[in-house]
Amino acid sequence: MSRPAKAYIDLLALRHNCELANSLAPNSRTMAIIKANAYGHGVLPVARALEPLVPAFGVTCLEEAIELREGGITKPVCLLEGTFSDDEIPLAAELGFWLSVVNKQQQQSILRASLKTPVTVWICVDSGMHRLGIAVDDIESTYRMLAASRNVASDIVIATHFACADELASDLTYRQLQQFKAGVASLANADTVPLSLDNSAGLLGWPETHADWNRPGIMLYGSSPFSVPHAEADRLQPVMTLRSSVIALRDVPVGDSVGYGARWSAQRPSRIATVAIGYGDGYPVHAPDGTPVLVNKQRCSMVGRVSMDMITVDVTDLPTVAVGDEVILWGKGLSVNEVAGCAGTISYELLTRMPRRVPRVYSG
Taking the C-alpha atoms of residue 59 and residue 57, their distance in angstroms, rounded to an integer, is 7
Among 271, 357, 364, 262, smallest CA distance to 315 is for 271
d(CA 29, CA 210): 10
Which of 35, 221, 283, 348 is catalytic? The answer is: 35
Q: How far is CA 110 from CA 62, 90, 142, in A?
A: 15, 9, 12
Instruction: Please confirm, yes or no, whether 143 is among the known catalytic residues.
Output: no
CB 324 within 8 A of CB 342: no
User: Which spans in the chain are helix H?
Assistant: 11-24, 35-40, 43-50, 62-70, 88-94, 104-112, 139-147, 172-184, 200-205, 336-342, 347-352
The active-site residue, picked from 39, 174, 181, 260, is 260
**Cα–Cα nearest to 230, from 176, 164, 167:** 167
Buried-state track 51-85, b at ≥16 Cβ within 10 A, e below 16: beebebbbbbebebbbbbeeeebebbbbbbbbbee
Identify whether 39 is a catalytic site residue: no
Catalytic residues: 35, 260
